[in-house]
Amino acid sequence: MASVSMPGGKRRKGRKSAPMAELNMIPFIDVMLVLLVIFMVAAPLLTVGVPVDLPKTGAAQLNIEQKPISVTIDERGKLFLQEKETTLERLVPEIQAIAKDGFDERIYIRGAAQVNYGRVAEVLAALKAGGYAKTALINQPQERR
C-alpha cells in the first residue's frame, strides 16, 4: 500500500474515501417535473373521440321517474305549460306548484320555428326573474343530406 505524507511529518496509510450514502434527489425531481408537464399537455389530447355515425335503433327510452317540465310556445305565440295553456304572468306560479326540486328544476322550452325570437326571450326572462336559471331550449336535430 502506498503511504501518504501528512503535514507535520506524520505518515498515514492511504485509503480510498468512503462511498457517499446520500441519494441525490435533484435529477429525480427534474425528471418527474418534465414527465408531469408532458402528461398535462398530452392528457386532453387522449380524450378526443373518433367521430362515428351511430346507428338508429328502436331501443326504449330511459326510465325517468318524473315527467320533465316543458314550456311550449306555438306558432301564434301562445304559451303552454306541459299540455295546459297559460299566460306569461301565470307561468312562474304554475311552475312553482309542480316543481319538485324547487328552483333547481330544469325547465325545457320548446318554441316553434316560426315564433318570434322576442317571445322566446320574454319567456326566458320571466323564468329567470322567477328564480329558475336551469333552462334548456329544445330543437329538432337537422337531417343530414
The reply to whether 45 falls in a domain is no
pTM for the structure as a whole: 0.51
The reply to whether 130 falls in a domain is yes
Q: What is the number of structural domains in the chain?
A: 1
Spatial contact of 81 and 87, defined as CB atoms under 8 Å apart: no
Q: What is the pLDDT of residue 54?
A: 43
Residue 115: give its domain's CATH number: 3.30.420.270
Is the pLDDT at 2 greater than 50? The verdict is: yes
Q: What is the pLDDT of residue 32?
A: 93
Give CA–CA dist 57/36, Å, rounded.
43
The reply to whether 6 falls in a domain is no
pLDDT class of 145 with cuts at 50, 70, 90: low
Chain Cα centroid distance, residue 118: 30
Q: What is the pLDDT of residue 48?
A: 46
Q: Which residues form the domain of 130?
A: 69-138
The better pLDDT of the pair 115, 125 is held by 125
Is the Cα torsion angle 3, 4, 5, 10 positive or negative in sign? negative
The reply to whether 19 falls in a domain is no
The reply to whether 143 falls in a domain is no
Is the pLDDT at 138 greater than 90? The verdict is: no
